[in-house]
Structure 1
Amino acid sequence: MSYQIHVVKEAAKGHWREIFGALAPQLNEAVDRAPNHVSCPVHGGTDGFRLFPHWEETGAGICNTCGAYNDGFALLQWVTGWSFNETVNKVGAFLRLDYSSAQIISTETEGSKFSGEIRFIGMTKLRNGRDCFLIRFTDGSVHWGADLKRACELAGLKVGDTAELTLVAKQKAINSKGKEFTKTLWSARRLPSAEEIRAEEEKKAAVLAKRRLQMRALWKSSEPLALSGNNPASLYLRNRGIKEAEFNPVNLSDLRYVPQMSYVDEDGKVSSFPG
């Protein structure tokens, strides 16, 4: 079955961890250590590849040798060798964006978003006696459907979570008995709670404060850079043929170097170099 790219792209947002795990196990190391550098899944090495910080939303990553891949579809093409259409169809099939016995007539893109704290999520019985998956927010709004169940299960949503639901599209289809019906396609993701947002902000503030202290300590350990000196930085510039006259004297007075800077490689080995 052929899928429409805009429908698959919207449905894949926030679910690249599951998609990569199912379709590209060669990315497992990058997923487990994201966003840190790992060996390239295509040509190996030690630390040439990493997923971008927001990779779970976009699927994006970069190889220092091969270049950047700005979404999960491009990344999957590169890793697996699939064509673009083949990649879209495999992601669409994994996300179950079709009925196996149905013929899709048309797809109408939506894009409406609904968010709130989940009061109830799960199967319930309708007045007509049929079972239906339903999600109810604390504001009283209710959404339901078979595909919404799939989307919520992929997102791992539960009662108490703050969620965002996206009405991706509506598909008109004909089932095996020739009856026409409409299927609603959903995407879902968990949003951070107020407490999680506050904790993340506090964590970022602590990291920033630590970096400021490190930068102050680094500045205090630095020495003025003079092209006439015999320190490693001065020798390097002279060997490159750079003369003091080529610098603006004001800017040159601001240049400094650190005699010994620590560097820790991936194996934890510590070494020192001028910086």
Structure 2
Amino acid sequence: MPKSRADFEAALDRLVRENRFTIAVVFPLVGAALFVASHQRWNWIPPWLLMNPLLVLFGTLVMRLPLVAGFAPLVNKRAAGALFAVFGYAYAVEFVGVHYGVPYGDFSYQIELGPMLAGVPVGLPVFFVPLVLNSYLLTLLLFGPQASGTSLRSRAVRVLASLALVLVVDLVLDPAAVGLGFWVYDGGGGYYGVPWTNYAGWVLSGLVAVLLIEFGFDSSRLTRRLDRCPFMLDDFVSFVLLWGAMNVYFQNWVPVALAVALLGGLVRADRFDFVSVGRKHPEQG
């Protein structure tokens, strides 16, 4: 058992490095297959496997491991405070959305995604916050020097580009989630059953979340950690594979194209190919 924080971080780092392909590729593809099985209600699949909320939460937590391992050495008191603020904000804004229709529009959960509290999944921060963190990290890689430093221009690039990526992420996520019946919008919507008000809401919620991350973390330290940690964006790979596959299943071709674009961004940033994910990297500092 790890005896210190450093030991724990090293153990988690090894676990992720030695299982990159399983976490980043196998888990999302198996998850997509189980989602399809649940949607088709195949009777040869054990009933407890069909859209099991605890299984959904467990699979999500496993796919988040690369992000957790990547960020762990960077979490000081300030960063921890920012993360807790984002967690609390994510739950609060979802509670208001479910009960009052603001800012996303009137919607309700149709499936329990793990334990629920006042109509909102307790694990909501696990679903939402990593999407913001991944978008922030990919921005740092794609924009390079333009997104580094403490100047007002660099901060603006980080915040605005991260927010744009967060919106693209939801343009991929929401149509497939609606198709699966995770949640439904009253009256449907013009974008694969999703109203455009949802994306106006994501501008607000995403902006607050990105600003909290910007406040809590040193972008230069994040960039250095990204350089040393090849798996830090594997969670984004999992997201693209899972929700890209689900959109193919529902024939949602615009979200599919956006998922391909996100994967192209990861490839351009030298963060994903099946060879590198399948390779065991030596431990780095």
TM range (shorter): under 0.3
Structure having the larger proportion of residues in helix = 2
Q: Which has the higher contact order (CA 8 A, sep 6+)?
A: 2
Pair member with larger Rg: 1
Structure having the larger proportion of residues in strand = 1
TM-score (structure 2 length as normaliser) = 0.24
